[in-house]
A and B are shown apart, each in its own frame.
Chain A
């Protein structure tokens, strides 16, 4: 798992409630990412971070915000959850920006919005 812990692993929440997913790494890697996986869509990038307090949007960032106050933690927040945000969320880390430095993924958080 490359020292990546995602919490919680499963969550069921109601529409309109705020939700925060946590990604914790022990590798001291600079880069961290949040992806979501949906049937027929593969893996799509939500937000990413290239350092403490440095974040940027991915292709499906609407409805999500992130924060990175420490190197080891990257939080994904759904301000007001909607049913379309039911998905499996994966955190990933990367050591460097070199092309041969791959992403390493956590085991995911399955989120259900009812």
Chain B
């Protein structure tokens, strides 16, 4: 049973437009959600997180939105740049000693 789901394996966006990456989860005990970006031949890099007590967190071009009732979160990138082309992983945990659970990732391609 997959607790964190990223249903879109890939997404293509034009440079300068908005990229929206989606993530759904099933475990209502999750209280923190994180997004990671991964380039080929490198490890995942932490991007942004959100606590379950918030519905929005913003950091520069990146904003994460959380809809607890729908068990859904999304990452918005505005404006998208070619350097944003990467695989994006959604992850979640019940903070404490429980491990971080990852989705399968969405490959974002930003076209110049």
Q: Which residues of A contact B (CB under 8 A)?
A: 1, 4, 33, 35, 40-45, 48, 50, 58, 90, 92, 97-100, 102-108
Contacts and interface: CB of A to CB of B under 8 A. Distances in A.
A90 B43 contact: yes
Interface of B: 6, 31-32, 34, 36, 41-46, 49, 51, 89, 91, 93, 95-97, 99-105
Q: Which among A40, A48, A105, A107 has the greatest number of chain B C-beta atoms within 10 A?
A: A105
B42 A99 contact: no
Determine which residue in A42, A45, A48, A50 has the highest number of CB atoms from chain B within 10 A of its CB, and name it: A42
Contacts of A43: 44, 89, 91, 102, 105
Contacts of B99: 33, 45, 48, 58
A100 B44 CA distance: 17
A109 to B, nearest CB: 10
A30 B99 CA distance: 14
Contact of B95 (A4, A45, A99): A99
Nearest to A99: B95
Contacts of B49: 99-100, 102
A50 B96 CA distance: 11
Q: Which of A102, A105, A106 has the largest count of B CB atoms less than 10 A from its CB?
A: A102
A104 B51 contact: no
A106 B43 contact: yes
Contacts of A99: 31-32, 49, 51, 93, 95-96
Contacts of B103: 42
B23 to A, nearest CB: 11
Contact of A41 (B43, B46, B104): B104
B44 A97 contact: no
A104 B32 contact: no
14 contacts: A33-B100, A42-B89, A42-B102, A42-B103, A43-B91, A45-B99, A48-B99, A98-B95, A99-B93, A99-B96, A102-B34, A105-B36, A108-B41, A108-B43
B72 to A, nearest CB: 18
Task: Give 8 nearest A-B pairs by CB, closest first.
Answer: A99-B95, A105-B43, A99-B32, A42-B104, A43-B102, A102-B46, A107-B43, A42-B102
